[in-house]
């Protein structure tokens, strides 16, 4: 029994109950922080930033594939969220709202880069620096395959499989029908499968 992990000692029936309490506690903490930010509490703002930064940066990075741009996007998105915090509905989770801002900005940056590349291909080659990997490394093949997707398809894949959003949450986050999310996921996964098999 000494070799058993603590998770093996917890009865399976109690696992979801403990998880639900943790999520509820985390949700309460998030609401408290948002209320604090709405009142101008700098400590609440700092704590909310610390909680949301890693996932915001990761989402931006996985859409744009550029560490510096991802950092800028995540920071700008957080500032935009703070500026609009008075309009935020505290009954809803802050994370998905924040990720919507991040992903939309990352898509915009990717589109703008794509347009600039069409206009001046030589400048785009010199402007690209090798990206820093996100905190959890992804295979080079997967990162390259994600880079082949359109920004819209990349965004739904990142939200679904790297940030663990459900299709319904993605639809709400990106303000699109769930069918569109499912269609983009399917097309993206088909493309990723083809690229990785090569």
CB-based contacts of 55: which residues, under 8 Å, 6+ apart? 95, 99, 163
Question: Residues 171-179: what's their mean pLDDT?
Answer: 88
For the whole model, what pTM was predicted?
A: 0.56
CATH code of 19-197, in short, is 1.20.140.160
More confident site: 69 or 132: 69
pLDDT at 155: 87
The answer to whether the beta carbons of residues 107 and 152 sit under 8 Å apart is yes
Mean pLDDT of the chain: 77
Q: What is the pLDDT of residues 56-88, one digit of tens each?
A: 999 999 888 889 999 999 999 999 999 999 888
**Rounded to the nearest 10 degrees, how much is the dihedral formed by the CA atoms of 60, 64, 65, 69?**
-70
What is the C-alpha separation between 109 and 64, in angstroms, rounded? 7
Residues 6+ apart with CB under 8 A from 111: 151
The Cα–Cα gap between 167 and 98 comes to 17
What confidence score (pLDDT) does residue 50 get? 92
The domain limits of the chain are: 19-197
Q: What is the pLDDT of residue 8?
A: 34
User: What is the pLDDT at residue 163?
Assistant: 82
CA distance 83 to 165: 25
Only one residue has tokens 């880079």, namely 147
110 vs 112: CA distance, rounded Å: 5
pLDDT for 41 equals: 92
d(CA 108, CA 103): 9
Q: Which pLDDT does position 165 carry in this prediction?
A: 86
Of 6-10, 34-38, 149-153, 180-184, minimum mean pLDDT range: 6-10
pLDDT for the residue 192: 83
Question: Do the beta carbons of residue 73 and residue 109 sit within 8 Å?
Answer: yes
Q: What is the pLDDT of residue 123?
A: 45
Q: How far is CA 33 from CA 38, 76, 93, in A?
A: 9, 19, 12
């Amino acid at each position: 029994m000494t070799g058993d992990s603590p998770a093996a000692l917890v009865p399976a029936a109690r696992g979801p109950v403990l998880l639900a309490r943790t999520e509820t506690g985390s949700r309460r903490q998030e609401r408290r922080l948002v209320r604090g930010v709405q009142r101008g509490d700098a400590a609440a703002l700092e704590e909310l930033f610390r909680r949301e930064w890693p996932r915001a940066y990761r989402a931006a990075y996985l859409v744009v594939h550029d560490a510096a741009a991802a950092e800028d996007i995540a920071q700008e998105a957080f500032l935009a969220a703070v500026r609009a915090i008075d309009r935020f509905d505290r009954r809803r989770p802050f994370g998905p709202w924040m990720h919507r801002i991040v992903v939309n900005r990352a898509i915009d940056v990717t589109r703008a880069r794509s347009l600039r590349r069409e206009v001046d291909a030589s400048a785009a080659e010199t402007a690209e620096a090798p990206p820093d990997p996100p905190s959890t490394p992804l295979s080079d093949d997967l990162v390259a395959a994600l880079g082949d997707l359109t920004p819209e398809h990349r965004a739904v894949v990142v939200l679904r499989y790297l940030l663990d959003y459900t299709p319904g949450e993605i639809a709400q986050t990106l303000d699109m029908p769930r069918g569109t999310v499912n269609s983009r996921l399917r097309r993206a996964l088909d493309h990723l499968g083809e690229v990785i098999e090569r």
